[in-house]
Amino acid sequence: MTGRQPSIWDDFCRESEDRACANVADDMLHRYEDDVQVMSDYGLESYRFSISWSRVMSWNGTAMNPNPDGIAFYRNLIRALREKRIEPILTMYHWDLPSALHTALSPKGWLNPSIVDYFDQYTNLLYHEFGADVKFWSTFNEPWSFVTLGYGLGVHAPGMSNSTTNTYLAAHHVLLSHAAAVTRFRALKETQIVREDARISIVLNCDFAYPLNPNNPSDVAAAERKMQFSLGWFLDPIIRGEYPAVMVEFAGDHLPVFSRKESSVLKGSYDLFMLNHYTSNLITPCDSIESNTPCEDLSPGWFRDMAIDSRLPPGARLSSVNEHGGHNCEWFGGYPEGYLETIRWMHRKDVHAEILLTENGWCGNATVDNQDQLWYYESYLQQVMNALREGIPILGYTAWSFLDNYEWGSFEPRFGLFYVEYPPQVGSHAGYTPKPTDLQRIARPAAGFISRIAKTKCFPEAEAEAEATSNPTFLVLCFSMVIGSNLAFYLYRRRRSATLYDKII
């Protein structure tokens, strides 16, 4: 329909019989108008989606060329959103590098410094096609995930592993690509190709790291090292133009060095912070007597250099179980207080930067009446409320995700506020054509919770406190938008004497 070419995930999913492919996931390609209508019916005011590089550009053997049919799909999606007064929020890279470009380069993909120029061409196309209609942009979604899992452990595309340097090198080129994309973005704002009020950043993810023993200096240092190796790895370069000092110390010559020019371009390459968060961990050095993971068992490079052992904290609520009786996400545990700690950690890096909480959600299963998911949102949103009360400038909160979707090799983990009724052949390597009756969307209880907030514009507990306080104005958390497959809140100030809401962001 749109002429999309294969990506590295099309190749990677077919390398193992146990790995599902996403030839068809939620089929939004054909159902976007109905989905946008549901968003509108639920009172949602914005939508975050990711552009597929291999849908809007193709490789002819020597260069990347625009694909008009793929561009037209996204233009129609943006138009449908705007007609419903839903703000489109665009992510430019969500892990699906065009396969032909990846294989044409030597070294391949993000290991090659020339990828910076190709990414610049790609982002330039997007700015010219959609710059007048899109206000919020992110260059990359979770670079930590696709470089550590794809170039370090080899469990994600493109499946590379057993290198002391590949993860760092891929991340280095991602950061340089981000800086180039932001530089072009700002130049095109000056020429009004990109709208004047547009804002750009990079979506970073981080689980909070608690010391296993808060009274043990080694555990405290290891926990902070984990935060710097995860969030600081990408945050420090865009703020200061340099990698964290502890990474330089522990990674040594495995870690590339920015030139003076590169550092200058990176520094300040953000208009706001964007943060994904799901869970928290307890940390101890891998060589401590409490460690369950010997240092020599850690994967070479980033993991071994960081030199930590990690486990879920006691009391964390484990993810929903799958049909085999195991937990769908072994890495996951609901631990709400870690969310606030992560927000605080990021805020301390630049106290003036607004924070958009771009992903947060429960790893569930095919259960529709998932009360754990409802608990997760209620509990984590309370932490957002606590952050607002501390004066942290949170621009919004988002929940992952609007629909169940493809979770990188599997359809078993379910994060959706709406359950999707997948047919047995979903994930087939050969692909299939869904029937109109396939892929039905069914609201979970958490969707109703979010919808009530969307329609009343207030978080219920904050609303009650606002009514009880004698203060003439009271900050309450109010719903504003859906981002990607995500839902988000904006901070409003409600005046008790008025019936309207004044947006203060």
Cite the active site residues: 142, 359
Write out the two tokens for 230: 């995860």
Cβ atoms of residues 416 and 403 within 8 Å: yes
Cis omega before residue 434 (within 30°)?
no
Query: Got the DSSP string for 32-77?
Result: HHHHHHHHHHTT--EEEEE--HHHHEEE-SSSEEE-HHHHHHHHHH
Q: How many CB atoms lie within 10 A of CB 462?
A: 21
Phi, psi of 101 (to 5 degrees): -70, -45
* SS3 at position 359: strand
Q: How far is CA 382 from the centre of its chain?
A: 21
Looking at the DSSP assignment, which residues form a beta bridge with residue 443? 418
What 3 state SS string does 71-135 have? HHHHHHHHHHHHHCCCEEEEECCCCCCEHHHHHHCCCCHHHCCCHHHHHHHHHHHHHHHHCCCCC
Residues recorded for the chain: 505
Question: Nearest-CA neighbor of 286 among 265, 258, 305?
Answer: 305
Rounded-to-integer distance, Cα 467 and Cα 460, Å: 11
Strand partners, 64: 59
Q: Is the peptide bond before 285 cis (omega within 30 degrees of 0)?
A: no
Separation CA 10–CA 32 (nearest Å): 22
